[in-house]
Structure 1
Amino acid sequence: MRFQSITFEKNGRLAIISLNRPNAMNAMDDTMLQELAECFELLKNDGSIQVLMLKGSGKVFSAGGDIKTMLGTGDDSIDMLQAMDTISRMIRAYYTLPMITIAAVHGAAAGLGFSLALASDIIIAEENSKLAMNFIGIGLIPDGGGHFFMKERVGVPKAKQLIWEGKTLDGPSAKSLGLIDQVAEKGTAVEQAVQLAQNLLHSPLAAMIETKRILNGHKQKELDEILALEAKGQQLMRQTSDHLEGIQAFIEKRDPHFEGK
């Protein structure tokens, strides 16, 4: 499979997908969203792969959605309804993959990038990683199933608090909260993920994948409902003055002045 903004490698029963917009901190523009959705949907029918590793090229895992395209002007502006539909396709396909998924996180995993990492079965993050469900900083709500994955990991009350705070966490802090599974030393997340993948390949993976099918399948309806609610809510939030202020402040590199409307 050949793509513009991601790379795909296959080595026997192990596959590796790299988010590959390093000059843009692997921010997810429409092309990357479409390619990830397409790739995951194709992989659902590939019974030869049992372990999938997801990583980022360059200095970070992913800075999240491409905020500059949210300004709504120019040829690179984003169609929010279409984007939310593609995000839902991507997350749904990834969550239901009949293989064990591992996210190897280094640098930043923020916003939608963090949602995608949280959709993985196993998350390894480097000790100095910057992990943030930080949609609140631009007056938006989590998407990509962020609400679902956060509450699955930490419970509803804590998920709400973390989403509202939008704090940036390092690897040890995220692990202490249960948001990630393993902490790697700086520069070793991919190496640790590859070692874990090799260990898994010597495990009874058919049984492990069946357990995933049962547990994730039981939750799929709830994920679908939350994705639909996120799409509706995000469209509403995008029309608020707080969102416009948040984006302008981000572009201008200043603190936002929110008014709750």
Structure 2
Amino acid sequence: MTKYHYIQTLRHGAVMEIRLSRPERLNAVIKPLYDELLDALHHAEIDPEVRALILSGEGRAFCVGADMKAHASGERSAFDKHQYLAGEQQVCKRLFTLEKPIVCVVQGHAIGAGAELAIACDFLLMSKQAQLALPEVSIGTFIGGGVSYLLPRLVGLAQARELIFNGERISAKRALKIGLANRRLSEQHFRQQALEFATNLAHKAPLSMALAKRHLNLLGTQGLDGALTSELEGMCFCATSNDWQEGVDAFAEKRPPRFKGN
């Protein structure tokens, strides 16, 4: 497995965990970290043994956003700044479009770019004491990672405006209430609970999962007729797969299915 400097990759059976690993900087993001994330996501996508992913952070926080110390150094050119900002856009797009389910696990804080990484994932699990914020407008910068597209889809336009315009930190309890988070996890066992959540996803049929993610990502862009047509195509495609027959056989034999992704 590839050796990285700013992230760790861990395998838990069919689940790959990608863990941000700059705990001394509360996992603040820098361009090389984005580069490593893109590489790890690519390897996860092409590995047929990986059925689901976890994105997490080492230490006290998931990710507190941009490394302001690096920003303040004043040593980067305009091109360097553009490449850094583009790095986040690329990573968030890969999180959103990768055809395997991705579970983000937030402990401590997910601030700015950290919140944007979390929002780009399919599922957001937060420890009970975790907080999330999008303070960009409050500090003279701007949101990224596709948040202007993704956040209203999750929480509605009114809540998205409040989170972005105010920039205040919200608790895991409120994130769950408004539909941003999927679960609140105990502080003591949040990693184990997250792994159980991701492992359950990893047991599903890979072809069906990829189609489900792809179609849900098109929410509101197809119309009813378009959705019905593409769903029919998806159903017909799955019905030709070995996994479809395995699902039928497993149901008839009253046993868990063993999907192989073909």
Q: Contact between 1:115 and 1:149, CA under 8 Å: does it hold in 2?
A: no
Q: Contact between 1:13 and 1:49, CA under 8 Å: does it hold in 2?
A: yes
Quote how far apart the aligned CAs of 1:150 are. 1.2
Cα distance between partner residues in 2 of 1:37 and 1:76: 23
Quote how far apart the aligned CAs of 1:90 are. 1.1
For 2:46, what is the secondary structure of its paired residue? coil
Q: Point out where structure 1 has 5 or more consecutive residues left out of the alignment.
A: 221-261
Match of 1:82 in 2: 83
Match of 2:154 in 1: 153
Q: Contact between 1:30 and 1:78, CA under 8 Å: does it hold in 2?
A: no
Q: Point out where structure 2 has 5 or more consecutive residues left out of the alignment.
A: 222-262
For 1:7, what is the secondary structure of its paired residue? strand
Determine whether 1:190 maps to 2:203: no
TM-score by length of 1: 0.78
Determine whether 1:42 maps to 2:64: no
Cα distance between partner residues in 1 of 2:53 and 2:160: 27
- Structure having greater relative contact order (Cα 8 Å, sep ≥ 6): 1
CA RMSD of aligned residues (A): 2.2
- 1:71-114 per-residue CA deviation (whole Å, 9 max, x = no partner) reads 35137999221112211211111211111110111000111101
Quote how far apart the aligned CAs of 1:147 are. 1.7
> Which range is displaced more, 123-132 or 65-74?
65-74
> Which range is displaced more, 154-163 or 12-21?
154-163
Compared with structure 1, are the counterparts of its residues 77 and 190 closer, same or farther at alpha carbon in structure 2 (3 Å cutoff)? farther
Cα distance between partner residues in 2 of 1:76 and 1:29: 15
Question: Highest CA radius of gyration, 1 or 2?
Answer: 2
Quote how far apart the aligned CAs of 1:42 are. 3.2
Q: Contact between 1:106 and 1:187, CA under 8 Å: does it hold in 2?
A: no
- Hey, which bits of structure 1, 4+ residues long, moved more than 6 A? 75-78
Quote how far apart the aligned CAs of 1:55 are. 0.6
Match of 1:20 in 2: 21
Write the letter of the residue equivalent to 2:103. I
Aligned residues: 220
